[in-house]
C-alpha cells in the first residue's frame, strides 16, 4: 500500500432519496461511507466480511451487504438505509413480535426483509430461509423474527412442524 | 394501571427499529484518532524483537506503543496479564503493539509494517495436559502475582484456582451405592459472538478528566480498575456505556479500555477509538472457557443418589480473568439441582495456551451441568430407571442442603419437581423417547435439569434515582446496562407499579454515565432486576414518602391517613379528597403563593445480604441469595445413514417467580435456549499447530442461523421469591444451562452411543459409533 491509497475522490450518492456529495478513498466500503461521512449509523459492522448481514442496506431495491460494496460502485444507484424507512410494516412487526433484544442485528434484518417482501411478496418458507440465513442474530431464537416476517408477508403462523 | 405481568413494549423499541439506537462505535467525534492492534500469530512464543521503524514512517501515524511502554499487570482476581505482551506471548491473538493514527486505514497499514520476530515455545493444549506433572508452565512467576484472597492458585503448576467442595462422607456414600458410573466429558473453548464487536474510546481532558466510552457490562468496574491501576482519583474518571449490542458475559472483561487509555495518554490526551475486528473479537478479547471433567456417581437400589465425586478442569486460557470465578461458581452448584449427601468436588481453573476466558452466560454452570447430567443419564440407564423419574426422585427440595451446605427454603430454591413434571407433559414423554420413524430416521428425546445461583461479590449492590418532572412524569436513573435483556423497561414497570402511575409516564435513558448514574455492581449474573429491582422499589418508597409528607400538610392529616394510586395522593377514608401528583412533585403552592415541599427525587439502594466467602477446605458458604431452577427437554430426528440430525423441539420449564413482563421473559428464555443449542451443536474453536485458532470468522465458526432453529416451548412455574421486587427471579442465563446436556442425551439415545463431547457434530456421532472407520 502506498500513501496514494489515502487520496480522496468526490462521489455523489443517492441515499434515502437525497443526492449527497462526499469525499471517499477508492478502497472505502459503502458501509463506512454511510456511517462516517453521512452519520447513518443504522447499518452496522459485524464482520466486514459478508458473513453476518448486520450491514445490509437496499441498493436499487435489493438487500446488499454494504461491507462488500465499494462506495464508488454505489454511485448512480438508489440506496435505502434503515433511516430511510418511515414506520414501515417490517419495523412495526419487529416491535409487535419482540423480534430483537440488543437490536444490533435489527437494521440488517429489517432491510433484508424490506427487500424480500418487495421482491418475493409470496415467499414460501424455503425462500424466506434462503434470504434470512445471510444474517445472524445472536440474541433472539429466530422464532420472533419468523413471526415478524410472517406478519409482513401476511402469512399465517403455522402450528409446529 | 397494573404494570406487573404486562407485556409492555420495550422502552428502546423505536430506537432499535429505526437505526436511531446508538452503540459505542456509532458515537463519532471529529478529530478522533484511531488505534489498531498488532497481535500474536502464535499460541506461545518468545518475542525476540519488535521493529516499529517502518510503521512510524507512514504519514499520519502518531505513535506506536509496545509492551515496553506499558509494563503493568492487570486482572480482577489475579494480576497476571500484561496490557501489551512484553517478552512473551501466551495465546494466539494476544495484543503485542498498538498503532495510533489519523484514520483507521492508516493505522491498519502501519500495523502491517510493525515487524515482530518470535521464537515459538512448546504449547499447553488442554486443561488435562496443563494438569500433568512436568509440563511447561504458562506462568512461571505465578507466586509473585498480586491476587485477591478468595482465589487459590498453586505456584509451580498451571493451576490458577482450586475450589474444594467437601460434604458428608465419601466412605458412607460409596458404601450405600449399589450402582456406580463414571463419565468423562470434554469440549474446547468457544466464543460469545456478540454481533457488536467490543469497542472503546478514551480521551483525557486538559484538567486530567478521563472520559471512556465502552461497550461493556461493567462500566463502574472500569472506573475502579483504571483508578487502581493508574493511580487516578475515581472522581476524575467518567465511563459512558450506551446501548450494548449483545454481551452474554463477554463484555464483563476489561481489556481494550486499558489500551485505549494508554494510547490517549501517550499522545497528550486526544480521543482514541479502538474497535475490534471480528477476528480480534473472536480470539484477542476473552472467550468462553472449555472443560475436561470426570464425574463418578453412585445411587442405591431405589435410585437415590448417595455419592458424587466430581473433578472439573476448566480451560481458562492464558490469563485468569473471570475464569477463576467461574471455576468456583461451577463447584458451588456442581451436582445440579439434586440432593447429594456425600460429595467431593475439585474444581480447577487451568492455564493453557488458548485465548483467555471470561464470564459466559451461565457462569460455569452450562459446562459442569453437561458433565453431571451425562453421568446422571448413564446412572439411570444402568439402574434401569426412567431418566425423568430418576431426576424427579432426586430433585432438591426445601429443607435439604446444597453442595456448599446452604439450607434451602421455598424462596431460595423454588420448585424443581414441578418443573420436571411439566416438561414431561410438554415434550410428550409418554409417547416414548426413542421412536424409529423409518429404518433410517430415529426420533429421540433427552432431558436435563438446571439450577444456578449468582456467585458475585458478597457485597454487590445497586442504586436507583426517580426524578419527577413538573408534569408528573418521571425519569428512572439506574446503572443496569441495556445489553438486550430489556431490564431497564422491566425496572420502569416496577417503578410504575409502586408509584401507582402508568409505565408510559416513566422515562428511561439508555446510556450510563458513571459520574451521574447510581452504581449497579455489574450487569451480570442475572442480578439486574434482582438487585436494581430492590433499589427501584426503595427509591419509589422514598419518593412516595416525600409526596405524602407534603399532602399531609395540605390536608392537615397524618401520613397514615393517606394513600397513593392512579396518579393521585388521596385520603384513605375519603378518596374523593385527592391531589394529583403534579400538584405535589415540585412542592405544593397555596392560593396565596406560599410554597411547601420541593422537587421530589426518590433515592434507593440495595446491597446483597447474608452472602459469605466459601470455606477454603470444604466450600461451605453462601454463594448467592437464591437459585433459579428448571427442567429442559430436546427432541431430535437423527439419520442413521449419514449421522446428520435435526433438532425438532426444545422445551424449558423454569421457575421464574413472578413474571413482570411475559413477552420479554419468553424472549430471554428462548434466546438462552437457542444460544445453548448453537453452542452444543456446532460451536468450538478448532486449533492448528502451536494452538493457532483456525476458526475466527463466521464462515468457519458456525452459529445457528435462521431456520436451523427448532420449535421452542417455554412455560413458567411461579414460586415467588420473598426477597425481590414483586417476587421475581433472575432468568437471563438459566435456559442455556441444560441445553447441551439435553441435546447430548437425546442424540445419545437416538444413536445408542455415549456422546460426551461437544460440539455434537454428525462427524462426532459417526466417530463414536464407528470408531471413525468406514
Ligand atoms: S458486516 Fe457486512 S456482512 Fe457482516
Ligand atoms: S438482537 Fe442482538 S443480535 Fe439480534
Is residue B324 a contact partner of residue B160, using CB atoms and an 8 Å limit? Answer: yes
The pLDDT tens digits of the residues spanning A27-37 come to 999 999 999 99
pLDDT in the model for residue B526:
86
List the residue whose alpha carbon is closest to atom 4 of ligand 2: A137
Residue A140 belongs to domain with CATH number: 1.10.150.120
Q: Is the pLDDT of residue B774 over 70?
A: no
Res. A3: pLDDT tops 90: no
Residue by residue, DSSP assigns A42-77 as TS--S-SSSSS-TTEEEETTEEEETTSSBGGGGTTS
B interface test, pick of A101, A140, A144 with most B CB neighbours within 10 Å: A101
Same-domain status, B445 and B343: yes
For this complex, say whether ipTM is above 0.95: yes
Q: Is the CB of residue A103 below 6 angstroms from any atom belonging to ligand 2?
A: yes
Same domain, A77 and A16: yes
In a domain, B17, yes or no: no
The CATH number that applies at residue B734 is: 3.30.365.10
Beta strand pairing call for B45-51 and B88-89: antiparallel
CB contact under 8 A, B19 and A43: yes
Cell numbers linked to B154? 498453586
- At B151-160, the pLDDT tens digits run 999 999 999 9
The DSSP string of B218-268 is -HHHHHHHHHHHHT--GGGEEEEE-B-S--TTGGGS--HHHHHHHHHHHTT
Sheet holding B568-571, edge to edge: B562-565, B568-571, B574-580
B381 and B438 housed in the same domain: yes
Residue A115 falls within a domain, yes or no?
yes
Hunting for cell 448512480 — which residue is that?
A: A76
**A15 and A59 fall within a common domain:** yes
Note the ligand closest to the C-alpha atom of B17: 2
- Residues of chain B with pLDDT > 70, as a percent, come to 100
CA distances in angstroms from B586 to B20, B499, B544, B547, B555, listed in the order given: 32, 16, 13, 9, 17
Q: Which of A82, A97, A119 is the last residue of a domain?
A: A82
Strands (E), B123-221: 159-167, 179-187, 199-204, 210-214
A54 and A109 inside one domain: no
Residues A126 and A144 both lie in one domain: yes
Give the pLDDT confidence of B466-486 residue by residue, as tens digits.
999 999 999 999 999 999 999
Q: For position B727, what pLDDT does the model report?
A: 97
| Same-domain pairing of A137 and A115 | yes
Each residue's pLDDT tens digit, B422-471: 999 999 999 999 999 999 999 999 999 999 999 899 999 999 999 999 99
Cell (9 digits) for B20: 436511531
C-alpha cell at B695: 476458526
- What pLDDT is stored for residue B182 in this prediction? 98
pLDDT by residue (tens digit) across A75-102? 999 999 999 999 999 999 999 999 999 9
b/e per residue B6-18 (b: at least 16 CB within 10 A) = bebbbbbbebbbb
**pLDDT tens-place string over residues B323-332:** 999 999 999 9
Residue A158: band (very low, low, confident or very high) from pLDDT cuts 50, 70, 90: low
* Residue A6 to residue B675, Cβ atoms within 8 A: no
Grid cell at residue B139: 506462568
- Which CATH number belongs to the domain containing residue A17 in this structure? 3.10.20.30
Same domain, B499 and B646: no
Final residue belonging to a domain, choices B607, B635, B656: B607
Query: Residue A101 domain-assigned?
Result: yes
Instruction: Based on the fold, state whether residues B227 and B275 are members of the same structural domain.
Output: yes
E strand or H helix that includes residue B648:
strand B645-655
Residues A128 and A63 in one domain: no
Nearest to B671 among A44, A101, A136 (CB): A101
Is B182 part of any domain?
no
In terms of domains, do A123 and A76 share one? no
| Beta bridge pairs of residue B628 | B452
Say what the pLDDT of residue A159 is. Answer: 45
Is B674 in Cβ contact with A140 (below 8 Å)?
yes
Residues B632 and B507 in one domain: no
Q: Are residues A105 and A125 both part of a single domain?
A: yes
- Per-residue pLDDT of B183-233, as tens digits, reads 999 999 999 999 999 999 999 999 999 999 999 999 999 999 999 999 999
Whether A1 is covered by a domain: the verdict is: no
The Cβ of residue B648 has, within 10 Å, a number of other Cβ atoms equal to: 17
| Mutate-to-test residue for ligand 1 from A43, A44, A57, A67, highest number of ligand atoms within 8 A of CB | A67
H or E element, residue B305: strand B305-317
Residues A75 and A101 in one domain: no
More confident residue, B492 or A5: B492
The answer to whether residue B773 scores a pLDDT higher than 80 is no
Q: Which of B249, B283, B317 is the last residue of a domain?
A: B283
- Are residue B597 and residue B638 in the same domain, yes or no? no
For residues B652 and B728, membership in a common domain is answered with yes
- CATH assignment at residue B58: 3.90.1170.50
- B488 and B443, same structural domain? no
Identify whether B3 is part of a domain: no
CB contact under 8 A, B18 and A82: yes
Q: Which of B266, B283, B300 is the last residue of a domain?
A: B283
Domains held by chain A: number? 2
Residues A106, B60: C-beta atoms closer than 8 Å: no
Number of helices (H), then strands (E), belonging to chain A: the values are 5, 5
**Are B320 and B464 in a shared domain?**
no
B203 and B295 in a common domain? no
Instruction: For residues A60 and A93, state if they share a domain.
Output: no
The maximal CA–CA distance of chain B, rounded, in angstroms, is 96
**Domain, as residue range, for A24:** 9-82
Sheet holding B290-299, edge to edge: B159-167, B342-351, B305-317, B290-299, B179-187
Alpha-carbon distance of B478 to B535, in angstroms, equals 9
Is A158 inside a domain boundary? no
Measured CA to CA, the distance from residue B646 to residue B681 in angstroms comes to: 10
Burial class (CB in 10 A: 0-12, 13-18, 19+), B688: exposed
Q: How far is A62 from chain B (nearest CA, A)?
A: 19
Residue range B93-148, pLDDT digits in tens: 999 999 999 999 999 999 999 999 999 999 999 999 999 999 999 999 999 999 99
Same domain, yes or no, for A70 and A114? no
Query: What pLDDT is attached to residue A1?
Result: 44
Domain final residue, candidates A25, A52, A82 = A82
> What is the distance between the alpha carbons of residues B284 and B147, in angstroms, rounded to a whole number?
23
**3-state DSSP: chain A helix, strand, coil percent, rounded to 5?**
35, 20, 45
User: How many domains are there within chain B?
Assistant: 3
Distance from CA of A6 to the nearest CA of B (A): 8
Residue-number span of the structural domain to which B97 is assigned: 31-121+192-283
**Do residue B502 and residue B579 come from a single domain?**
yes
Torsion angle defined by CA atoms of residues B251, B254, B260 and B264, in that order, rounded to the nearest 10 degrees: 130
Rounded to whole angstroms, the Cα distance separating B135 from B129 reads 8
Q: Say whether both B597 and B630 belong to one domain.
A: no
Mutate to test the pocket of ligand 2, among A95, A101, A111, A134 (most ligand atoms within 8 A of CB): A101
| Last residue within a domain, chosen from A52, A82, A112 | A82
Residues A118 and A137 in one domain: yes
Amino acid at each position: 500500500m502506498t500513501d496514494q491509497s489515502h487520496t480522496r475522490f468526490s462521489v455523489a450518492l443517492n441515499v434515502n432519496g437525497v443526492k449527497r456529495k462526499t469525499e471517499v478513498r477508492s478502497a472505502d466500503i459503502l458501509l463506512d461511507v454511510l456511517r462516517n461521512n453521512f452519520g447513518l449509523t443504522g447499518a452496522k459492522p459485524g464482520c466486514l466480511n459478508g458473513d453476518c448481514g448486520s450491514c445490509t442496506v437496499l441498493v436499487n431495491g435489493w438487500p446488499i451487504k454494504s461491507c462488500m460494496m465499494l462506495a464508488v460502485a454505489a454511485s448512480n444507484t438508489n440506496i435505502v438505509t434503515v433511516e430511510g424507512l418511515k414506520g414501515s410494516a417490517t419495523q412495526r412487526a419487529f416491535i409487535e413480535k419482540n423480534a430483537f433484544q440488543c437490536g444490533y442485528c435489527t437494521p440488517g434484518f429489517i432491510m433484508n426483509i424490506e427487500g424480500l417482501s418487495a421482491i418475493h411478496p409470496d415467499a414460501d418458507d424455503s425462500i424466506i430461509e434462503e434470504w434470512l440465513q445471510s444474517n445472524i442474530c445472536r440474541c433472539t431464537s429466530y422464532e420472533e423474527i419468523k413471526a415478524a416476517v410472517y406478519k409482513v408477508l401476511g402469512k399465517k403462523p403455522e402450528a409446529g412442524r | 394501571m397494573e404494570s406487573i405481568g404486562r407485556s409492555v413494549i420495550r422502552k428502546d423499541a423505536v430506537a432499535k427499529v429505526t437505526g436511531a439506537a446508538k452503540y459505542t462505535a456509532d458515537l463519532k467525534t471529529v478529530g478522533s484518532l484511531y488505534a489498531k492492534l498488532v497481535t500474536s500469530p502464535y499460541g506461545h512464543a518468545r518475542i525476540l524483537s519488535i521493529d516499529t521503524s517502518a510503521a512510524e514512517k507512514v504519514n499520519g501515524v502518531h505513535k506506536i506503543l509496545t509492551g515496553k511502554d506499558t509494563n503493568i499487570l492487570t486482572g480482577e482476581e489475579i494480576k497476571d496479564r500484561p496490557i501489551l505482551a512484553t517478552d512473551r506471548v501466551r495465546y494466539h491473538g494476544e495484543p503485542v503493539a498498538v498503532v495510533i493514527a489519523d484514520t483507521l486505514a492508516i493505522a491498519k497499514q502501519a500495523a502491517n509494517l510493525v515487524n515482530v520476530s518470535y521464537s515459538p515455545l512448546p504449547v499447553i493444549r488442554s486443561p488435562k495436559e496443563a494438569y500433568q506433572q512436568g509440563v511447561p508452565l504458562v506462568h512461571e512467576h505465578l507466586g509473585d502475582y498480586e491476587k485477591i484472597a478468595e482465589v487459590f492458585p498453586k505456584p509451580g503448576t498451571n493451576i490458577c484456582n482450586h475450589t474444594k467442595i467437601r460434604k458428608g462422607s465419601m466412605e458412607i456414600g460409596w458404601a450405600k451405592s449399589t450402582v456406580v458410573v463414571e463419565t468423562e466429558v470434554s469440549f474446547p473453548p468457544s466464543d460469545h459472538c456478540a454481533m457488536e464487536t467490543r469497542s472503546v474510546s478514551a480521551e483525557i481532558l486538559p484538567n486530567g478528566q478521563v472520559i471512556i466510552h465502552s461497550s461493556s457490562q461493567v462500566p463502574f468496574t472500569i472506573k475502579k480498575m483504571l483508578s487502581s491501576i493508574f493511580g487516578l482519583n475515581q472522581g476524575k474518571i467518567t465511563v459512558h456505556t450506551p446501548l450494548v449490542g449483545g454481551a452474554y458475559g463477554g463484555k464483563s472483561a476489561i481489556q481494550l479500555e486499558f489500551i485505549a487509555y494508554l494510547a490517549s495518554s501517550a499522545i497528550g490526551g486526544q480521543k482514541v477509538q479502538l474497535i475490534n475486528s471480528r477476528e480480534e473479537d473472536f480470539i484477542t478479547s476473552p472467550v468462553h472457557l472449555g472443560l475436561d471433567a470426570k464425574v463418578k456417581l453412585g445411587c442405591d437400589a431405589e435410585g437415590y443418589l448417595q455419592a458424587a465425586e466430581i473433578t472439573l478442569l476448566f480451560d481458562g486460557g492464558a490469563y485468569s480473568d473471570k475464569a477463576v470465578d467461574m471455576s468456583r461458581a461451577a463447584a458451588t452448584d456442581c451436582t445440579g439441582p439434586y440432593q447429594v449427601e456425600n460429595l467431593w468436588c475439585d474444581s480447577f481453573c487451568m492455564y493453557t495456551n488458548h485465548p483467555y476466558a471470561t464470564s459466559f452466560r451461565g457462569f460455569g454452570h452450562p459446562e459442569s451441568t453437561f458433565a453431571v447430567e451425562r453421568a446422571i443419564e448413564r446412572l439411570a440407564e444402568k439402574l434401569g430407571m426412567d431418566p425423568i423419574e430418576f431426576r424427579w426422585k432426586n430433585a432438591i427440595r426445601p429443607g435439604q442442603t446444597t453442595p456448599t451446605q446452604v439450607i434451602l427454603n421455598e424462596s431460595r430454591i423454588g420448585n424443581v419437581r414441578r418443573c420436571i413434571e411439566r416438561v414431561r407433559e410438554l415434550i410428550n414423554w409418554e409417547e416414548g423417547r426413542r421412536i424409529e420413524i423409518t429404518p433410517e430416521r430415529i426420533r429421540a428425546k433427552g432431558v436435563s435439569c438446571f439450577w444456578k445461583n449468582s456467585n458475585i461479590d458478597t457485597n454487590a449492590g445497586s442504586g436507583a434515582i426517580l426524578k419527577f418532572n413538573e408534569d408528573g412524569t418521571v425519569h428512572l436513573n439506574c446503572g443496569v446496562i441495556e445489553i438486550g435483556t430489556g431490564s431497564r423497561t422491566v425496572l420502569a414497570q416496577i417503578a410504575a407499579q409502586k408509584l401507582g402511575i402508568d409505565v408510559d409516564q416513566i422515562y428511561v435513558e439508555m446510556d450510563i454515565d458513571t459520574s451521574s448514574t447510581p452504581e449497579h455492581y455489574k450487569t451480570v449474573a442475572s442480578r439486574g432486576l434482582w438487585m436494581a429491582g430492590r433499589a427501584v422499589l426503595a427509591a419509589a418508597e422514598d419518593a412516595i414518602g416525600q409526596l405524602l409528607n407534603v399532602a399531609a400538610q395540605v390536608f392537615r392529616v397524618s401520613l397514615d391517613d393517606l394513600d397513593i394510586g392512579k396518579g393521585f395522593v388521596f385520603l384513605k377514608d375519603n378518596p374523593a379528597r385527592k391531589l394529583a401528583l403534579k400538584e405535589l412533585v415540585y412542592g405544593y403552592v397555596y392560593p396565596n403563593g406560599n410554597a411547601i415541599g420541593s422537587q421530589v427525587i426518590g433515592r434507593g439502594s440495595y446491597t446483597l445480604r447474608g452472602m459469605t466467602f466459601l470455606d477454603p477446605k470444604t466450600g461451605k458458604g453462601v454463594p448467592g441469595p437464591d437459585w433459579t431452577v428448571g427442567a429442559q427437554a430436546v427432541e431430535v430426528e437423527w439419520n442413521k445413514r449419514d449421522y446428520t440430525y435435526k433438532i425438532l423441539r426444545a422445551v424449558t420449564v423454569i421457575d421464574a417467580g413472578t413474571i413482570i413482563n411475559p413477552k420479554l421473559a419468553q424472549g430471554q428464555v428462548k434466546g438462552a435456549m437457542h444460544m445453548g443449542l448453537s453452542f452444543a451443536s456446532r460451536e468450538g474453536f478448532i486449533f492448528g499447530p502451536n494452538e493457532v485458532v483456525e476458526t475466527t470468522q463466521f464462515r468457519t465458526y458456525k452459529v445457528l442461523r435462521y431456520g436451523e432453529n427448532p420449535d421452542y416451548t417455554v412455560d413458567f412455574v411461579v414460586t415467588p421469591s420473598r426477597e425481590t421486587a414483586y417476587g421475581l427471579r433472575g432468568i437471563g442465563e438459566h435456559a442455556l444451562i441444560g441445553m447441551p446436556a439435553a441435546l447430548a442425551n437425546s442424540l445419545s439415545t437416538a444413536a445408542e452411543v455415549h456422546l460426551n463431547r461437544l460440539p455434537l457434530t454428525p462427524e462426532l456421532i459417526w466417530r463414536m459409533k464407528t470408531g471413525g472407520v468406514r
